[in-house]
Amino acid sequence: MAAETKPVRGSESSGSIKSGFRKLWQTFNGDSRYRDLSLSFFTYVMILLVVGLVMMSSASYAWAYFDFGDGLHYAVSQGRNAIIGFVLMLFFMNMDYHNFKKIRIPFIKRINIPGLLFFIVGALLVAVILIGNDEGGSMGARRWITIGPFDLQPSEVAKFSLIIYFAYNMEQDGRRMNRFSVGIVKYVGLLSIYVILIALEKHISGIMLITFIAIAMILCGGANIRQFLLLGAGSLAAAVGYIILQFNKDGSYVQARIMSWRHPFDDLLGDTWQTANSLIAIGSGGLFGLGLGNSRQKYLYLPETKNDFVFPIVCEELGFVGALAIIIVFFLLVIEGYSIAARSRDRFGMLIAVGITTQIGIQTVLNLAVVSNLIPNTGISLPFFSYGGTALIMQLVEMGIMLNISQQRYVPPRRDEEIDPPLPPPEKIRSGSGREKKNSGFKWYTSLQKGGRSGRK
């Protein structure tokens, strides 16, 4: 009797929150039906989420009291965002990620979700330039748009949109990705749309992050590496030339950023105030820190302690040991993310996992480099730690998708699996008298072997 076909794990559910909780509970209890769910990835996410909420609450206390007369204002708001994000994480963990390709609506043809999402986010980026506000931005940068009672940051959604759109198109292009016109020109052109729109928002860190995501996906998608490196070298030379020209202009934005980076203690009451106090906070923590809630720099000395500069407060309160432990958890999360990508059952899931994991990894590295003055201040947040509803919710949605991909990973067939009726040896396949038919029969047999089926025991 022929072997029974098993349903794809994770694809049979309706995406309900209740079944998401049930799936987590059964995973913790060792249910074999959900053994492929990456419990380690989920654990790392929850550690970072909980610790991030605690540290953001501590770091933002003084500024919340100064701004609103309530030291827990930002903590309550971020906690509400975390609950929304966690529920959405369970939803997307339980929804087959292939639904991001196309969806059928009654009386309407199938909708190309990646293309529609890419277009909508692009329209929101244009709207930010025209009618956006600068709430939370620096130097008049418009990055938010108000939709009803909510403030949305489209550049955060743009990262997710780009990942889904690139993964969908790269899967469709397949081997054509090796062509210069497809693997390089097409995707660099698509990337440039978002890059130009985000540049008009004066969001340098957003440009850097979305570019790194695109580079990782283009390389993993099958583009010609030599062609890509040549284009990358030319682009890098152009970027360096632009920075040099801007640096030589007196009073330019680039010159101010670079000078405050090179001399962080020269203008303590001006441009270097934030960087200098960040370094003081990091150094004040010592080995084991001053204790949770005992930071001194958060009392209006260090600006943006709830956003980009939350990690210096972590170093001050938890010390080198606590900060190192958090960095290790981030590292383990990224390693497990790429492991999920490597074990993905198809190209679409692999590329989504690569994009999301690269986003978390690069964003973490850039934030740590900024707060420690390894690179100039670009204004980039720390995943799971920095204050921001749009960012946190989107990060948890992406974590849910990663967990769904981990459930549907490729599982090689067991050695004891048998095809019934068993295939005869290749020399006994009777496919005809001609040599061409014999060769085709042999190719058919070997292709089945390569597909993982073992034939006879």
Please give the pLDDT value at position 215: 93
Least confident of 53-62, 153-162, 248-257: 248-257
Could you tell me which residues are beta bridge partners of residue 133? 144
Q: How far apart are CA 325 and CA 328, in angstroms?
A: 5
Cis peptide before 413 (omega within 30 of 0): no
Q: Which is higher by pLDDT, 279 or 28?
A: 279
Structure tokens at 386: 């920095």
The percent of residues in the chain predicted with pLDDT above 90, rounded, is 44
Least confident of 31-35, 361-365, 376-380: 31-35
- Residue 35 pLDDT more than 50? yes
With CA atoms as reference, report the closest residue to 144 among 218, 206, 102, 87.
206
Please give the pLDDT value at position 44: 97
Please give the pLDDT value at position 375: 86
For residue 1, what pLDDT band results from cuts at 50, 70 and 90? very low
Q: How far apart are CA 372 and CA 384, in angstroms?
A: 19
- Residue 430 pLDDT more than 70? no
Please give the pLDDT value at position 147: 74
- Residue 3 pLDDT more than 60? no
Least confident of 63-72, 252-261, 326-335, 342-351: 252-261
Task: Give 68-126 pLDDT, tens digit per residue.
Answer: 989 899 999 999 999 999 999 999 999 899 988 876 666 566 778 889 999 999 999 99
Q: For strand 150-152 and strand 145-147, is the pairing parallel, antiparallel, or unpaired?
A: antiparallel
What is the average pLDDT value for the chain, to the nearest integer? 81
With CA atoms as reference, report the closest residue to 403 among 23, 18, 1, 4.
23
Please give the pLDDT value at position 113: 86
Q: Which is higher by pLDDT, 301 or 412?
A: 301
Please give the pLDDT value at position 228: 84
Q: What mean pLDDT is predicted for residues 436-455? A: 43
Mutual orientation of helices 73-93 and 39-59 as an angle, nearest 10°?
A: 170
- Residue 11 pLDDT more than 50? no
- Residue 436 pLDDT more than 50? no
Structure tokens at 133: 């506000």
Please give the pLDDT value at position 247: 67
Please give the pLDDT value at position 251: 62
3-state SS string over the chain?
CCCCCCCCCCCCCCCCHHHHHHHHHHHHCCCHHHCCCCHHHHHHHHHHHHHHHHHHHHHCHHHHHHHHCCCCHHHHHHHHHHHHHHHHHHHHHCCCHHHHCEECCCCCCCEEHHHHHHHHHHHHHHHHHHHCECCCCCCCCCCEEEECCEEECHHHHHHHHHHHHHHHHHHHHHHHHHCHHHHHHHHHHHHHHHHHHHHCCCCHHHHHHHHHHHHHHHHHHCCCHHHHHHHHHHHHHHHHHHHHHHHCCCCCHHHHHHHHHHCCCCCCCCCCHHHHHHHHHHHHCCCCCCCCCCCCCCCCCCCCCCCCCHHHHHHHHHHHHHHHHHHHHHHHHHHHHHHHHHCECCHHHHHHHHHHHHHHHHHHHHHHHHHCCCCCCCCCCCCCCCCCHHHHHHHHHHHHHHHHHHHCECCCCCCCCCCCCCCCCHHHCCCCCCHHHHHHHHHHHHHHHHCCCCCCC
Least confident of 155-164, 166-175, 244-253, 257-266: 244-253
Q: How far apart are CA 135 and CA 130, in angstroms?
A: 15
Q: Which is higher by pLDDT, 274 or 48?
A: 48
- Residue 4 pLDDT more than 80? no
Q: What mean pLDDT is predicted for residues 347-369? A: 96
Task: Give 395-420 pLDDT, tens digit per residue.
Answer: 999 999 999 999 887 655 555 544 44
How many CB atoms sit inside 10 A of residue 380's CB? 26
Q: What mean pLDDT is predicted for residues 33-42? A: 75
For residue 452, what pLDDT band results from cuts at 50, 70 and 90? very low
Please give the pLDDT value at position 132: 74
Quick check: 111 and 103 in contact, CB under 8 A? yes
Q: Which is higher by pLDDT, 437 or 395?
A: 395
Mutual orientation of helices 113-131 and 154-173 as an angle, nearest 10°?
A: 150
The percent of residues in the chain predicted with pLDDT above 70, rounded, is 75
Q: What mean pLDDT is predicted for residues 24-41? A: 63
Q: What mean pLDDT is predicted for residues 32-37? A: 56
Please give the pLDDT value at position 17: 62
- Residue 382 pLDDT more than 60? yes
For residue 140, what pLDDT band results from cuts at 50, 70 and 90? low
Length of the chain: 457
Please give the pLDDT value at position 445: 41
Q: How far apart are CA 190 and CA 185, in angstroms?
A: 9
Q: How far apart are CA 71 and CA 298, in angstroms?
A: 12
Q: What mean pLDDT is predicted for residues 350-366? A: 96
